[in-house]
């Protein structure tokens, strides 16, 4: 990476960066943990950053957990975190529907998890749709499937009960021009240990968009909503904020889109080869995915925080 | 449509066109029938064309019926048709897997209908996957779902049992680089009476492609395979062949792609406004969707065939 814009973060440069920021946003999976195991050293880094007076936030595109569930998991793994510091897409999607769409007291068709249902209910939004929806009859029946006249929006998150009938029901709502259309995120795969992966929300959203011939608004990274959500609530100054993530196309792009400093950690999805590919592309859009700095692991921040 | 390339087909021009062709390909839904009702006059047109010595074929992207099922339906509706004249994507997909992919005696993962299973079996291709596949466990279980080691291809057609687990299983097969990937067609919606519609195979295929980060080969219109399939079997001369359809993006584009004369009928999906949009676009790709001629209904062919 000689001559690269993306510099390894260590020594004086590390100390300088930490001095220049007040708030640090961390992606979760691949950054502070992998599956159910913390990245070695990550809990100490987070806890020491807070002890040094930094404000720390967690921003994740995963829509299968509530803030409460994340805070509990983090606590179990040794992170000293409150639920107010967690911004997952289940919570942020509910916040978006409430604030940007004005849907408090209204009802949505939810293709998503029980966690999403809970976060929606917490802001006074009712839902129909959670759980299995099996097909019966033929095309004529599907086109005339009963719709809930109160539904104002179709909301798509990760849904392990995704089925043809759910896709069809979403289409029947979205044929109504005034029905809003919101997705949590566009991640195409959920990466797992050993290079394995399962289909992500992006696949489900793509199917619904193709049927509806409409594009959903999405709240997850790299859309700026998640940052705006926490920034407005906590008065975060973007010039003094660092985004730390393992994915160039979501985490680093969010940081670039919002004018934050960006740090790639190599414990997850993206590699330095990916960085180089974007850097050499000569494409403005792809160059936004080049981070300012990289570390092998966020444990590399420890030397600047200890002693 | 004054000054348009697309002329209304009637009178001397109609007689001239019929004299200039030996073979006529008809799309089915929206052209010769709508749902379970024949387009008025369509059975007479088809039967008279055959009596006048024209060869008639039926090419449909619908993958939910076998050739036999189509011939039975046509016979019930008054069309004098044999199953050898019907080219649906269930049959053509099986033919593609057999001839282009060399999969006779092999096994595929089928996301599709019982009709597709039957057409596959008829050419000696076994399948796994037809029917419901419900989710259980969590991401770790999904990523390690048992795969059939004999499977050589993932085949996607219309599947009313489409589910997250099926999507996941398709992804796990397609992560294997040597696994072939074939789709019947890309129609995003199945249009029904009264402007209603349900999601088409294109939505399901898009979800699988997004997960797999690979593009499927498709056999349906506008891909030339369906024409090549019938042309090679019946020795059809493309210069003396007419394609009749109600959709510009599948039927008419197939005709243009294969060098056939093209006729749009207005009893289905596309309109003269759509034609004009393509014609005025100045885009080479879109101009391929402008038909040579149009009729209000294929019943407009009757005057040239009677008396």
- Residue-wise pLDDT for A219-245, tens only, equals 999 999 999 999 999 999 999 999 999
Residues of chain B with pLDDT under 70: 1-3
Distance in Å, alpha carbon of B213 to nearest chain A alpha carbon? 8
Q: pLDDT tens-digit profile of A85-129?
A: 999 999 999 999 999 999 999 999 999 999 999 999 999 999 999
Question: Is B6 an 8 Å CB contact of chain A?
Answer: no
Could you tell me the CA-to-CA distances from B156 to A158, B129, B185, B191 in Å, in that order? 22, 10, 9, 20
Q: Let me know: does A210 contact B188? Beta carbons within 8 Å.
A: yes
Are B206 and A206 a contacting pair at CB < 8 A? yes
Cis? peptide before B172, omega within 30° of 0: no
pLDDT value of position A195 = 87
Residues 202-221 of B with CB under 8 A from A: 202-204, 206-208, 210-211, 213
Least CB–CB distance from A160: residue in B143, B164, B203: B164
pLDDT band at A4 (very low <50, low <70, confident <90, very high): confident
Best to test chain B binding among A210, A212, A216 (most B CBs inside 10 Å): A210
Count other Cβ atoms within 10 Å, centred on residue A235. Answer: 10
Q: Which of B19, B22, B29, B148 is catalytic?
A: B29
Rg of the Cα atoms in chain B: 20
Closest CA to A181 of A101, A266, A121, A279: A101
pLDDT at residue A182 greater than cutoff 90: yes
pLDDT value of position B188 = 97
Question: Is A190 an 8 Å CB contact of chain B?
Answer: yes
Q: How far apart are CA A90 and CA B55, in angstroms?
A: 59
Q: pLDDT tens-digit profile of A294-307?
A: 999 999 999 999 97
Best to test chain B binding among A65, A207, A212 (most B CBs inside 10 Å): A207
Residues β-bridged to residue B110:
B155
Q: Which domains does chain A have, with CATH numbers?
A: 7-61+222-305 (3.40.50.1000), 104-218 (3.40.50.1000)
pLDDT value of position A35 = 87
pLDDT at residue A2 greater than cutoff 60: no
Residue with tokens 């936030």: A57
Residues β-bridged to residue B58:
B26, B86
Residues 16-75 of B with CB under 8 A from A: 35
Q: Catalytic: A29? A: yes
pLDDT band at A3 (very low <50, low <70, confident <90, very high): low
Q: pLDDT tens-digit profile of A129-154?
A: 999 998 889 999 999 999 999 999 99
Q: pLDDT tens-digit profile of A7-27?
A: 999 999 999 999 999 999 999
pLDDT at residue A176 greater than cutoff 90: yes
Q: Is B178 annotated as a binding-site member?
A: no
pLDDT value of position A135 = 83
What is the interface pTM, i.e. ipTM, of the complex? 0.95
Q: Catalytic: A228? A: no
Q: How far apart are CA B163 and CA B161, in angstroms?
A: 6
């Amino acid at each position: 990476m000689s001559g690269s814009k993306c510099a390894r973060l260590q020594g004086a440069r590390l100390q300088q960066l930490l001095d220049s920021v007040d708030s640090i946003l961390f992606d979760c999976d691949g950054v502070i943990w992998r599956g159910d195991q913390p990245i070695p050293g990550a809990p100490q880094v987070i806890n020491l950053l807070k002890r040094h007076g930094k404000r720390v936030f967690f921003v994740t595109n995963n829509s299968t957990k509530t803030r409460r569930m994340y805070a509990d998991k983090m606590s179990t793994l040794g992170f000293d975190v409150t639920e107010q510091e967690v911004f997952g897409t289940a919570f942020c999607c509910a916040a978006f529907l409430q604030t940007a769409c004005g849907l408090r007291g209204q009802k949505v068709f939810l293709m998503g998890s029980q966690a999403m249902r809970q976060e929606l209910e917490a802001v006074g939004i009712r839902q129909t749709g959670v759980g299995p929806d099996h097909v019966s009859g033929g095309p004529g029946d599907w086109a005339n499937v009963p719709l809930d006249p109160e539904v104002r929006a179709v909301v798509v998150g990760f849904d392990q009960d995704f089925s043809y009938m759910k896709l069809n029901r979403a289409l029947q709502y979205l044929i109504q021009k005034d029905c809003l259309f919101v997705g949590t995120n566009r991640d195409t795969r959920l990466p797992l240990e050993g290079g394995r992966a399962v289909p992500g929300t992006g696949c489900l959203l793509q199917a619904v968009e193709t049927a509806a011939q409409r594009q959903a608004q999405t709240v997850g990274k790299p859309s700026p909503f998640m940052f705006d959500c926490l920034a407005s609530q906590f008065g975060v100054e973007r010039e003094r904020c660092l985004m730390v993530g393992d994915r160039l196309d979501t985490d680093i792009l969010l940081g670039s889109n919002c004018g934050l400093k960006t740090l790639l950690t190599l414990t997850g999805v993206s590699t330095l080869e990916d960085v180089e590919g974007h850097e050499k592309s000569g494409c403005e859009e792809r160059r936004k995915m080049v981070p300012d700095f990289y570390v092998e692991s966020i444990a590399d921040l420890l030397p600047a925080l200890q002693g």
